[in-house]
Chains A and B, each alone.
Chain A
Amino acid sequence: MKFTFGGGINELNDIAVSPDEAISGQNFELGLGNTKFKRRAAFDLLDTSTNTSEIHGIHQLITRAGVKTTLVASGNTMYEWDGATFTSRGTIDVDSELHHFEWDLDSTIIIVDRMQEDRVWEWDGTTLAALTTGLATTHFYAKYGLVQDGRAVFANVADGNGSPTSKNPHMLVFSQFENREVLDTTKRAGDSSFTTGSEAFYILTPDLQPINGLIRFKRSTIISTEGGQLFELIGDDSTNYKLEPFYGGSGAIDADSFVNAGDDVFYMRDGGVIESLRATVAYGDVGTDDISLPIRETVKDLTTARAVYDQTNQKILFWVGTSILVLYKNLINSEKSPWSIFKTAHASNFTTKAAVYMELPDSTNKTVLFGDDSGNIYDLNGAGIAGDAGSASISTIRKMPLQDFDYENFLEGRVYYRRQGECELSITFEWGDENATTNLLVPIKGRSGASNVNYFGGGKYFGGGEYFGEGDPVGNPVSRGFSAIGKGSSVFAEFQIDTVNEFEIDYIESPDIHE
């Protein structure tokens, strides 16, 4: 048996899954064509806000002139953050969960609140101000927003004065054409008074249910309602916009589980199932839609998810409680599970109210930033050389499917790896028929630290003082053996490494285990 690690977590059963999938595990990295056992990147602590309060929004504006500013909502303060210092730019509601969309025509971002605790804000790179709407209301609230056909569109809106007193969760408000500062909540689309087609207007959801999703999908803009339906926005001006049924059995739940991943949209529906909209449209609500089928046991009780698409690394991340479900986009159409689960021993515990894919404030590298309840901001794709936030060990686990064994052998094998960081591979064998588990530890060596590697040839000949054999610092393959006590009719093998260091295990071979 040669253990390779190309597949993700597959909880469907213990036997009939691909041998390089994991029946359980966490923190391992996947990738198209990758078969190695590697840990996810450690996340880096980038900075801590001045008031050390909960991070509940991270926003970024890059103007047409290329000027980049980043905002961080921490407690009751909206800070401008340049990667090193925080400058207060206004007071916000501590219970808000802020998202933004770009109004590029005037180089601003418009900030909406999923919790509808705070009004709609606008940031122009210097000033944080309430969005001018032209409405009679003092404050205008919206849970969702985007730009559609040259208009700012707000969904699930409310009026109020300090708190949303007049709620219209089933309403979409469209700004005037190319003017986000003129809204109208008195005229429906197609109003008889409209003449130019550029007028502001509103639309209600056809099922009059609250909106819990507003997202683009290919050439369409899709809204989701709590009643479990998806509608498609049809039309091109104020005289003819309307919502048409798109899919009637979506059952989408939660306020923030929709995510656009380029050519597809994923969302969580009743039962914690994560659906692919593309598959839903093509095939209807059948089992194959369920992109989360391999991790059914993990997701079955989930009711919320905060979804982010990491385009650089082709991952769709679902923050759920104290872990992140990671969907590897490149593996979706492979025959292997595309799922891994990230967990951390760090105090942040992956519990967040703000996670966003954007550029780092001080570079053009795009990554996923997230905050915690103490004002800390992290880069999920950190440098990864000293554990989570520079200190916490990462426990990387893969439990492999059940393999055959027999009582005539005892279990031997070798671990083939590259010297990266020093760590210890813990292998646990769970024996069939014997109700017993045995564990062994294989020390994995780190890089030798030598500046010059002695290669076979030239002046570095095999023999004498230049011995060819010790592992080297450039990651050439080496191996270490192991043998485990215990026997059984079958065996589960679980591989675990707890370390702050990086490691890279090519494969693990055991001729006595039968696939």
Chain B
Amino acid sequence: MDFLGAVNRVLVNAYIIKGDDDLLTNFNDNQHEATLRVAKNAIQTELNGLLSFFSLDYERAQTLGTITTVVGQRNYALPANFVRFWGDHPYLVLTTDDAERLYEFNGGEDRLRRLHHDYKTNEGKENWWYWSQNTSKQIGLFQVPDAIRTYEFEYEEDKTVSNSTDPIPFATEAESQAFADMASRRFVYMVEKERDLANLEQDGEYQMAQGTLMNFLRHRDPPKSYGKSYRS
């Protein structure tokens, strides 16, 4: 399911698309412009909530990120679609030696600054990385590299949706449908003024769709010896 498909599901669920209406074929069609905009926002808001809350399988980058050091350069840009490193205790690993790993400097740049006043210029073999605050996501290396070396790392990609063809980041259609059903309830709470959006979490339909999605997402089956009621 792509973003457009999710929008269509939201609009059909809310009885916006009915009668002689066709499903939307693109986001430029302005017949349903107002509801289209709200539906997009509802989906993005729901998705951002999930993405920020925990790591979806779909987010893991299928290719490793790489950083090639430059002599005397402290900061290195992460991939444009980088959201966060994958896994706990993320590290960079030297491509030529799997045993050489750079872990995050405990305490970050602030602590590094206090311990090593010349951390910005002191060159040598790099041992740690730290978050370098900038307008894009970057990491700094300490010590500042004194040679060219290449590191790889695992990370999670940006899976937010903006274009109509962007996929809804779930591995199966059923998961995407359950997610779109959650977004449908958010949409209803956004457009119907008699509903208070703050009550969305208590909405039974929303909870059911959310529960369905979570059941789909968890990585183990419940014991088969237990009955249906236990599964739900």
Q: Given A410-B34, A440-B30, A485-B37, are A479 and B191 also a contact pair (CB < 8 Å)?
A: no
User: B33: which of A409, A443, A483 is its contact (CB, 8 Å)?
Assistant: A483
User: B34: which of A414, A480, A485 is its contact (CB, 8 Å)?
Assistant: A485
Q: Is the CB of A484 within 8 A of B34?
A: yes
Q: Is the CB of B20 within 8 A of A478?
A: yes
Q: Is the CB of B19 within 8 A of A479?
A: yes
| Bound Cα distance A441, B20 (Å) | 15
Q: Is the CB of A481 within 8 A of B18?
A: yes
Q: Is there a chain A Cβ closer than 8 Å to B116's Cβ?
A: no
| Bound Cα distance A485, B30 (Å) | 9
Q: Is the CB of A483 within 8 A of B193?
A: no
B186 to chain A, nearest CB (A): 16
Q: Given A408-B193, A409-B193, A410-B191, are A481 and B21 also a contact pair (CB < 8 Å)?
A: yes
B60 to chain A, nearest CB (A): 37
B197 to chain A, nearest CB (A): 14
Q: Is there a chain A Cβ closer than 8 Å to B16's Cβ?
A: yes
B interface SS class: loop
A interface SS class: strand
Using CB atoms, name the residue of chain A closest to B18.
A481
Using CB atoms, name the residue of chain A closest to B22.
A443
B14 to chain A, nearest CB (A): 11
- Give A439-461 interface residues, CB cut-off 8 Å to B: 439-443, 445
| Bound Cα distance A445, B20 (Å) | 8
Using CB atoms, name the residue of chain A closest to B37.
A485
Q: Is the CB of A482 within 8 A of B31?
A: yes
Q: Is there a chain B Cβ closer than 8 Å to A471's Cβ?
A: yes
Please, how many residues of chain A have a CB less than 8 angstroms from a CB on the other chain? 22
| Bound Cα distance A439, B29 (Å) | 12
Q: Looking at A412, A480, A481, which has the most chain B CB atoms within 10 Å of its CB?
A: A481
| Bound Cα distance A478, B20 (Å) | 6
Mask, B15-44, CB within 8 Å of A = 1, is 011111110000000111111111000000
| Bound Cα distance A386, B141 (Å) | 73
| Bound Cα distance A438, B31 (Å) | 12
Please, how many residues of chain B have a CB less than 8 angstroms from a CB on the other chain? 18
Q: Given A409-B193, A410-B191, are A440 and B20 also a contact pair (CB < 8 Å)?
A: no
Q: Is the CB of A471 within 8 A of B34?
A: no
- Give B189-219 interface residues, CB cut-off 8 Å to A: 191, 193
Q: Is the CB of A483 within 8 A of B35?
A: yes
| Bound Cα distance A439, B35 (Å) | 14
Q: Is there a chain B Cβ closer than 8 Å to A62's Cβ?
A: no
Q: Is the CB of B34 within 8 A of A481?
A: no
| Bound Cα distance A443, B19 (Å) | 13
Using CB atoms, name the residue of chain A closest to B192.
A409
* CB within 8 Å: A-B pair count: 52
Q: Is the CB of B21 within 8 A of A440?
A: no
Q: Is there a chain B Cβ closer than 8 Å to A411's Cβ?
A: yes
Q: Is the CB of A485 within 8 A of B33?
A: yes
B112 to chain A, nearest CB (A): 50
- Give A472-489 interface residues, CB cut-off 8 Å to B: 478-485
Q: Is the CB of B20 within 8 A of A412?
A: no
Q: Which residues of A contact B32 (CB under 8 A)?
A: 481-483
Q: Given A409-B193, A478-B19, A481-B21, are A442 and B31 also a contact pair (CB < 8 Å)?
A: yes
Q: Is the CB of B34 within 8 A of A412?
A: yes
| Bound Cα distance A483, B144 (Å) | 57
Using CB atoms, name the residue of chain A closest to B193.
A408
Q: Is the CB of A441 within 8 A of B30?
A: yes
Q: Which residues of A contact B22 (CB under 8 A)?
A: 443
Q: Given A408-B193, A409-B193, A410-B191, are A471 and B20 also a contact pair (CB < 8 Å)?
A: yes
Q: Which residues of B contact A443 (CB under 8 A)?
A: 22, 31
User: A483: which of B18, B19, B20, B34 is its contact (CB, 8 Å)?
Assistant: B34
Q: Which residues of B contact A439 (CB under 8 A)?
A: 30
A470 to chain B, nearest CB (A): 8
- Give B38-88 interface residues, CB cut-off 8 Å to A: 38
Q: Is the CB of B33 within 8 A of A480?
A: no
- Give A244-258 interface residues, CB cut-off 8 Å to B: none
A21 to chain B, nearest CB (A): 26
A441 to chain B, nearest CB (A): 6
Q: Which residues of A contact B18 (CB under 8 A)?
A: 481
Q: Is the CB of B35 within 8 A of A414?
A: no
Q: Is the CB of B193 within 8 A of A412?
A: no
| Bound Cα distance A156, B17 (Å) | 67
Using CB atoms, name the residue of chain B closest to A470.
B20
Q: Is the CB of B20 within 8 A of A480?
A: yes
Q: Which residues of A contact B38 (CB under 8 A)?
A: 410
A493 to chain B, nearest CB (A): 14
Q: Which residues of B contact A484 (CB under 8 A)?
A: 33-34
A450 to chain B, nearest CB (A): 15
Using CB atoms, name the residue of chain A closest to B11.
A481
Q: Which residues of A contact B33 (CB under 8 A)?
A: 438, 440, 483-485
Q: Is the CB of B31 within 8 A of A412?
A: no
B189 to chain A, nearest CB (A): 14
B194 to chain A, nearest CB (A): 10
B199 to chain A, nearest CB (A): 17
- Give A407-443 interface residues, CB cut-off 8 Å to B: 408-412, 414, 438-443
Q: Is the CB of A481 within 8 A of B36?
A: no
Q: Which residues of B contact A482 (CB under 8 A)?
A: 31-32
Q: Is the CB of B19 within 8 A of A481?
A: yes
Q: Is the CB of B21 within 8 A of A480?
A: yes
| Bound Cα distance A479, B17 (Å) | 10
User: B31: which of A441, A445, A471, A478 is its contact (CB, 8 Å)?
Assistant: A441
| Bound Cα distance A484, B35 (Å) | 8
| Bound Cα distance A337, B138 (Å) | 70
Q: Is the CB of A480 within 8 A of B191?
A: no
Q: Is the CB of B34 within 8 A of A411?
A: yes
B109 to chain A, nearest CB (A): 44
Mask, A396-411, CB within 8 Å of B = 1, is 0000000000001111
- Give B96-126 interface residues, CB cut-off 8 Å to A: none
B13 to chain A, nearest CB (A): 14
| Bound Cα distance A443, B17 (Å) | 13
11 contacts between A and B (CB under 8 A): A408-B193, A409-B193, A410-B34, A410-B191, A441-B31, A442-B31, A478-B19, A479-B20, A481-B18, A482-B32, A485-B37
Other 20 A-B pairs with CB < 8 A, given A480-B21, A481-B18, A484-B33:
A408-B193, A410-B35, A411-B34, A412-B16, A412-B35, A439-B30, A440-B33, A442-B31, A478-B19, A478-B20, A479-B20, A480-B19, A480-B20, A480-B31, A481-B21, A481-B31, A481-B32, A482-B32, A483-B34, A483-B36
9 closest A-B pairs by CB: A483-B34, A478-B20, A483-B35, A479-B19, A410-B34, A440-B30, A485-B34, A480-B20, A483-B32
